[in-house]
Amino acid sequence: MDKKTGVYLCSGCGIGEAVDIAKLEALAAKEGKAQAVRTHAFLCGPEGVDLIKKDIAGEGINAVVIGACSPRVNTDVFSFGAALIERANLREHVAWCQTPNTEDTQALAHDYLRMSLVRMQKTDSPTPYLAEDFARSVLVIGGGITGMTSALEAAEAGTDVVLVEKSPALGGTAAKLHKQTPARAPYRDPEDTGVREAIRRVMEHPRIKVHTGAEVANTKGGPCLFDVTIRKGSETIEERIGAIVMATGAKPYDPAKLGDLGYGLSPDVITMEACEAMAQKGKIVRPSDGKEVQRAAFVLCAGSRDEKHLPYCSAYCCGAAMKQAVYLREQNKDASIYLVYDEIRTPGQLEEFYRRVQQDGGMFIKGKVSGVKEEPGKRLSLEVTEALLGSSPAVIGDLDLVVLATGLVPNAGGDNGGVLHLEYRQGPELPTHKYGFPDSHFICFPYETRRTGIYTAGTVRRPMGIAAAREDAAGAALKAIQAIEMTTRGAAVHPRAGDLTYPEFAMQGCTQCKRCTEECPFGAINEDEKANPILVATRCRRCGTCMGACPQRIISFKNYSVDMIGSMLKSIDVPSEEEEKPRILVFACENDAYPALDMAGINRIQMNPHVRIIPVRCLGSVNLVWISDAMSKGFDGIMLMGCRHGDDYQCHFIKGSEIASVRLSKIAETLSRMALESERVRQEAISIMDFRRAPEILSAFAESLQAFGPNPMKGF
């Protein structure tokens, strides 16, 4: 587009007192060749905004550069329809954190304005990625209570649903339960699971197409363009799908591995599933002889919270065992029921159910089962190392039944032939976290997976009971609908929700190095047989990690590119060695580090005046050419400030900051080729609350750079 640039400077909030605005105006006119340059003492006020609006209407200004507060504030105020907007942060990053009216402060303001002008030169309005044949339907994989609930909730909101269930009938694990633990006030009695009702509603719903005895054989494409092959016996069904909910559930931990707890010793040592099956048939009896159960013991955490088995807690088992204790007491009011536990975990209102079972005669024994024996007469005994009652093991004898409360293992596709069968460069299934759950790593954004438009729900993603799984199912359905809503507008989903840009590849320069296809945290880029990258745009989350990866610099967004940032840093005025004014360049992650630096300003914390900050979408988008460009330009040091990586990573793009650190570890060679110390380039983990620490880190960095003296490339 033909740009007609207007530069609007604010002298309010202390900016006018800290810098010489007239000089900035001159810079805008001369270096920036702006067609209009205006200053107002209250630019975000109605009069200031009118000034800009008038120029847009009257002068045809369509590229607006605002030199005022941080781009994080007044976003709605400085928004003018189709006009392009760039912001120079003269308030938080200059006036509020620098000594007023010094040469250094003025130079800083000049550099920020220059960078915004260059950014404006290099930016363009985005054209959203749109296709004619976007699908709006949701595929739900798994016909258990979670999958059925997802299907129903999506259908009730007006979405067409395809539901695929592997077994011949709907219902899943919940269909094998007699009842569920209480979910409704007063939380004292086991409740109907709601499975039968859900099956009926799913079968009757006009918007839900059900395929039982069917599996997903292949998935290709991306959100709104998923082409899914469903195999049902010898039949093959093709569906174009908008988004996917994966609700494949979990299976009980294999009891055969629990010989130590007596499994296999006697038919009367059973799992909760077997106990539930008997209850569903009408009565829980001794499997060995069908006789009445007088005395029974539940072994909680059987194979759970145990490094030899499942190290995690399955969350539902305490309540489920109590529910079966209630079944046994209801069928025989004289039955003695023992529950051997380490910690009782009945969170929330379920505590009331625990109380009820205690009041009803359930005997809770804190301890660890150290042995199970068959006594003469085929009855069983448990040896319990009791934590509460004494140091010598206690024996619970004369037991008719021992029930092992085993945990849950997710059906995430790894070990049972696959679920999604994605035709993705980065593998056919969802990446899983520790213990095989394809759960989100995020506390605030629990639905974010690493495969755009595919959401997990229920026990496949973390252990939970029925009530929680049904809520989860509805949440995942919303996310699926939302992904469709955003994608059909050509917009990105979380965390850059609404972003209309996407990466474009200048393929003539591609060397098929595969870095972009390997590094994309979301597996958005496929490869053809010649290793050319093929972007599946609707999978893209717009982090720019591919752009950072590309050594040929062929990947660009309309408003974010290697050339843009490179030109911005080249526009910074680097004083000559004689002036003894070092320059430090900071690439700051706009999600956490940049806001932290803003906060430093808001708290009026002084910043080193020699630092220049460039916000980036994610450290993953930092291209190493910027480092060598900046070094050639004469910067004395470069710091990447971004999110923590490792086990407790905070990077919103999951891998971005980690990839940046890997890339950076390889830069020493480049630097030594330039005869520069590798310590001149560093990465620091900065969280959003590090607003006191971040300026200190920068000062310390500046100090450490003095040891190396000025960058010898200055002035070349």
Partner 1 sequence: MSEAIAANRTILVVGGGISGLTTAIEAAEAGADVLLVERNPYLGGRVAQLNKYFPKLCPPSCGLEINFRRIKANPRVKVFTMTEVSGIAGEEGNFQVTLKTSPRYVNERCTACGKCAEACEAEVANPFNFGMDRMKAAYLPHDMAFPLRYVVDPSVLGTPDQKRIVDACAYGAVDFDMQARNVTLTVGSIVWATGWDPYEAGNLHAYGFGTFPNVITNMMIERLAAVGGPTKGRIVRPSDGKEAKNVAIIHCAGSRDEFHLPFCSRICCMAALKEAQFVREQYPDSKVTLYYIDIRALDTLEDFYVKVKNDPNVTFIKSKVAAIQQDEATGDLILQGENTTARERYLNRHDLVVLATGMNPTTAREKVPVEVVTDQYGFVAADSGRPGIHAAGCARGPLDVAAAVQQSTAAALKAIQSISRR
Amino acid making up residue 333: K
How far is residue 597's CA from residue 691's CA, in Å, rounded to a whole number?
Answer: 6
Q: 158 vs 377, which CB is nearer to partner 1?
A: 158
Q: Residue 537 is which amino acid?
A: A
Q: According to the binding rule CB under 8 A, does residue 181 interact with partner 1?
A: no
Please name the amino acid found at residue 24: L
Our finding on whether 658 is near partner 1 (CB under 8 A) is no
- Determine the distance from the C-alpha atom of residue 706 to the mean position of all C-alpha atoms in its chain, rounded to a whole number: 40
Q: Does 479 bind partner 1 (CB under 8 A)?
A: yes
Q: Which of residues 482-511 bind partner 1 (CB under 8 A)?
A: 482, 485-486, 493-495, 497-498
- Taking residue 699's Cβ as centre, other Cβ atoms within 10 Å add up to 14
Q: How far is the CB of 514 from partner 1 (least distance, A)?
A: 31
Stretch that binds partner 1, among 59-67, 233-241, 441-449, 556-564 (CB under 8 A): 441-449
In the range 13-42, which residues lie near partner 1 by CB under 8 A? Answer: 13-14, 41-42
Separation CA 154–CA 457 (nearest Å): 13
Judged by beta carbon, residue 137 or residue 381, the one nearer partner 1 is 137
Q: How far is the CB of 235 from partner 1 (least distance, A)?
A: 32
User: Which of 2, 81, 132, 158 is close enough to bind partner 1 by CB under 8 A?
Assistant: 158
Angle between helices 593-602 and 693-706 (to 10 degrees): 100
> In terms of CB distance, is 76 or 238 closer to partner 1?
76
What does each C-alpha distance from 197 to 86, 194, 204, 511 come to in angstroms?
55, 5, 11, 57
The stretch near partner 1 (CB under 8 A) out of 10-18, 327-335, 506-514, 574-582 is 10-18
- Residues 337-366 contacting partner 1, CB under 8 A: 343-352, 355, 366
* Residue whose CB is less far from partner 1, 465 or 634: 465
Q: Is residue 655 near partner 1 by the rule CB under 8 A? A: no
Shortest approach of partner 1 to residue 290 CB, angstroms? 36
Between CA 684 and CA 697 the distance in angstroms is: 8
Residue found by looking up tokens 């296709």 in the block: 131
By beta-carbon proximity to partner 1, the closer residue of 233 and 348 is 348
Does residue 184 interact with partner 1 by CB under 8 A? yes
Residue among 256, 444, 675, 707 that touches partner 1 (CB under 8 A): 444
Residue nearer to partner 1 on the CB measure, 41 or 394: 41
How buried is residue 485: exposed, middle or buried, by Cβ count under 10 Å (0-12/13-18/19+)? Answer: middle
Which CB sits closer to partner 1, 32 or 458?
458
How far is CA 178 from its chain centroid?
Answer: 36
| Closest approach of partner 1 to the CB of residue 688, in Å | 5
Identity of the residue, 185 or 707, whose beta carbon is nearer to partner 1 in the bound complex: 185
Regarding 711 and contact with partner 1 (CB under 8 A), the answer is no
CB of 599 to partner 1, least distance (A): 6
* Nearest distance from C-beta of residue 439 to partner 1, angstroms: 8
Dihedral (Cα; 401, 404, 405, 406), 10-degree rounding: -150
Cβ neighbour number for residue 132 with a 10 Å cutoff:
4
Output the CA angle 218-219-220, nearest 5 degrees.
125
93 vs 479, which CB is nearer to partner 1? Answer: 479
Q: Does 715 bind partner 1 (CB under 8 A)?
A: no
Query: What mask, x for binding partner 1 by CB under 8 A, covers residues 580 to 619?
Result: -----------xx--x---x--xx----------------
Shortest reach from residue 297's CB to partner 1, in Å: 19
Q: Find the binder of partner 1 among 474, 585, 597, 664 (CB under 8 A).
A: 474
Look at residues 44, 39, 11 and name the one whose alpha carbon lies nearest to residue 25: 39
Torsion of CA 102, 105, 111, 114, to 10 degrees: -80
Positions in 407-436 near partner 1 (CB under 8 A): 434-435
The pair of three-digit structure tokens given for residue 177, joined into one six-digit string: 């339960």
Sequential DSSP letters for 515-572: HHHHH-TT--EEE-TT--EEE-GGG-----HHHHH-TT--EEBTTB-HHHHHHHHHHS
CA 534 to chain CA centroid, nearest Å: 24
| Residue of 395, 388, 434 lying closest to 412 (CA atoms) | 434
Q: Which of residues 72-91 bind partner 1 (CB under 8 A)?
A: 72-73, 75-76
Size, binding site for partner 1 by CB under 8 A: 92
Out of 21, 183, 339, 616, the residue judged to bind partner 1 by CB under 8 A: 183
* Residue 312 interacting with partner 1 (CB under 8 A): yes
CA–CA distances in Å: residue 449 to residues 352, 410, 497, 646: 35, 16, 15, 17
CB of 246 to partner 1, least distance (A): 15
The reply on whether position 314 binds partner 1 by CB under 8 A is yes
CA dihedral 444, 446, 449, 450 (to 10 degrees): 30
Q: Does 650 bind partner 1 (CB under 8 A)?
A: yes
Stretch that binds partner 1, among 100-108, 131-139, 414-422, 641-649 (CB under 8 A): 641-649
Among 157, 203, 507, 534, binds partner 1 (CB under 8 A): 157
Q: Which residues contact 122 (CB under 8 A, 6 or more apart)?
A: 561, 563, 564, 567, 568
Shortest Cβ distance from residue 2 to partner 1 (Å)? 27
281 vs 275: CA distance, rounded Å: 10
Among 40, 286, 329, 462, interactor with partner 1 by CB under 8 A: 462
Min dist. Cβ of residue 92 to partner 1 (A): 10
Could you give the maximum distance between any two Cα atoms of the chain, in Å? 101
201 binds partner 1 per the rule CB under 8 A: no
**Identity of the amino acid at 670:** T
